[in-house]
Amino acid sequence: MKPIYTLSNDEYAELYRVLDGVGKNPYEEYEAFSQAVRDLVERGEVPQFFVDVANRIRAEREAGTSDAHVIRNCPIDPELPELGDEDPVAVKHVAKRTFIGEALLELFAQLAGNPLLAYARNWGDFFTDVVAIRKYSGMLTGYSDSELFFHNDRTAHDVRADYIALLGMRCPGNDLIYTGFIDGRAMLNELTEHDQAMLRRPYYITPFDVFSKEKNESLTFSEVHSILENHHSFRYLDTSTTTAPGSPVEAKDALLALKDALAKVEKQRHRILERDLFLLANQDGLHSREKIEINDPAEARKRWLLKTYAFRDDAAADRHADKWLDSVRGRVAD
Ligand SMILES: [Fe+2]
């Protein structure tokens, strides 16, 4: 995918210097960290080019021009710890002592007007990781080294992000791993009015992913849900979302039509490089992970993306205000 903007090396250095001044640990005191980033914005310290690119992305989202963007050559931490594949997040908490990548993600979220979302099961962290954990190898979770069919994140959960941001921290150069993206509007064009109407009915269920089930045994299936919501949001995990018991046969026909649409629809693909910030809609589209060519599986398993979940805007976040844990805005139990 063609980046909407590529930072020059001078711009990289300028933005890095600003982010380096945040001076808070986002894993120990997220609110203070977030406030320190807000202070940078309010003091006018953020370079104008970055404000401008955030505004362009915001405008393209609002106009319906695009819901997937890449900003290339973004500041990341100069030294990255080896996370291993046993318990990489625990290692990160101990070994990562600079927070340039986190500050970049927080800054973009603030400029784009997208409050961040955190889940208790991810240690309550607002900055999570796409990394391979050995015990999930071959399974359908972001914590695996597997391919992932088209889906949105947290399909089965009640609180779901509107946007996802992925920052390339460690991306092995010899392995071709691509993130696919399908715009929900393109999916609508492939579906008849009748199929769309069926997909808007609560005839479907999605099993919880292996990671969620492990953290909470009571999670088995979502409540019954519609697949198509809002104008073009798709709540769907391919090969997992299915018809609920007792649903009419037309619901299964619509599911088959959806699978045909998935095969036919135009897809965008992006290979996330180190220092790429990839921004995509989580509900108004579907995404995937494809391993196109793996030359060194051990290196490929070291791939590390820093990730945030975000709400569309303040109003979308505030709709879940009764669910905040520890009174921290955006942190939910789910
Ligand atoms: Fe995902």
Beta-sheet strand order (sheet of 148-151): 148-151, 285-293, 176-183, 268-270
Determine the distance separating the centroid of ligand 1 and the alpha carbon of 141, expressed in angstroms.
8
Determine the distance separating the centroid of ligand 1 and the alpha carbon of 28, expressed in angstroms.
26
Determine the distance separating the centroid of ligand 1 and the alpha carbon of 102, expressed in angstroms.
19
Length of the chain: 334
Cα dihedral 223, 207, 147, 3, rounded to 10, equals: 10
Sketch the domain layout of the chain as residue ranges.
5-324
Determine the distance separating the centroid of ligand 1 and the alpha carbon of 151, expressed in angstroms.
6
5-324 has which CATH code?
Answer: 3.60.130.10
Of 143, 131, 158, 128, whose CA–CA distance to 283 is shortest? 158
Determine the distance separating the centroid of ligand 1 and the alpha carbon of 210, expressed in angstroms.
14
Determine the distance separating the centroid of ligand 1 and the alpha carbon of 152, expressed in angstroms.
6
Determine the distance separating the centroid of ligand 1 and the alpha carbon of 149, expressed in angstroms.
9
280-321 pLDDT tens trace: 999 999 999 999 999 999 999 999 999 999 999 999 999 999
Determine the distance separating the centroid of ligand 1 and the alpha carbon of 315, expressed in angstroms.
24
Determine the distance separating the centroid of ligand 1 and the alpha carbon of 243, expressed in angstroms.
22
Determine the distance separating the centroid of ligand 1 and the alpha carbon of 155, expressed in angstroms.
9
Q: Label residue 149 exposed, middle or buried (CB < 10 Å: 0-12, 13-18, 19+).
A: middle
Question: Is the Cα dihedral 159, 164, 165, 169 positive or negative?
Answer: positive
Say whether 240 sits in a helix, a strand or coil.
coil
Question: CA 117, CA 311: separation in Å to the nearest integer?
Answer: 7
148-203 pLDDT tens trace: 999 999 888 889 999 999 999 999 999 999 999 999 999 999 999 999 999 999 99
Residues 6 or more apart in contact with residue 296 via CB below 8 angstroms: 172, 174, 175
Determine the distance separating the centroid of ligand 1 and the alpha carbon of 8, expressed in angstroms.
30
**Out of 2-16, 95-109, 114-128, 216-230, which region has the weakest mean confidence (pLDDT)?**
216-230
Say whether 114 sits in a helix, a strand or coil.
coil
Determine the distance separating the centroid of ligand 1 and the alpha carbon of 122, expressed in angstroms.
14
Of 42, 87, 35, 109, whose CA–CA distance to 277 is shortest? 109
Of 161, 183, 164, 165, whose CA–CA distance to 316 is shortest? 161
pTM exceeds cut of 0.85: yes
The DSSP symbol for 120 reads G
Determine the distance separating the centroid of ligand 1 and the alpha carbon of 43, expressed in angstroms.
35
